[in-house]
């Protein structure tokens, strides 16, 4: 019997191949190596972290814009301008 296993370009680690005999029946097991198995969850975590960081950056920019608008509103009030706070918020 001949078994050929091909991996695609970009696969992280070679597969682990194991043959076990149980009650005179051979069992072939093929699974990713431990390093490859650990990499997928890490990629998922990294993606989640990047997504959260991007959301935080957007929130920071929004807060900075609102703070700037509030400062302009305050300066306008000090200069006697009639403005509505609703236009700032």
In sequence order, the 6+-apart residues with CB closer than 8 A to the CB of 20 are: 26, 27, 29
Q: So what's the pLDDT on residue 85?
A: 78
Q: So what's the pLDDT on residue 26?
A: 78
Summarised one tens digit per residue, pLDDT across range 9-62 is 666 566 777 777 778 777 777 776 666 556 667 777 888 888 889 999 999 999
Q: So what's the pLDDT on residue 63?
A: 92
Q: So what's the pLDDT on residue 61?
A: 92
E strand or H helix at 56:
helix 34-78
Answer yes or no: is pLDDT of 70 > 60: yes
57-89 b/e (C-beta count within 10 Å ≥ 16 → b): eeeeeeeeeeeeeeeebeeeeeeeeeeeeeeee
Q: So what's the pLDDT on residue 1?
A: 54
Measured at the CA of 48, the angle between CA 42 and CA 49, to 5 degrees, comes to 90
Q: So what's the pLDDT on residue 83?
A: 79
């Amino acid at each position: 019997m001949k078994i050929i296993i091909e991996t695609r370009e970009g696969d992280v680690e070679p597969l682990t191949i194991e043959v076990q005999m149980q009650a005179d029946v051979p069992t072939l097991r093929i699974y990713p190596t431990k390093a490859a198995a650990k990499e997928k969850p890490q990629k998922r975590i990294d993606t989640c972290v990047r997504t959260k960081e991007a959301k935080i950056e957007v929130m920071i920019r929004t807060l900075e814009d609102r703070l700037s608008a509030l400062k302009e509103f305050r300066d306008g009030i000090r200069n006697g301008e009639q403005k509505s706070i609703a236009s700032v918020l």
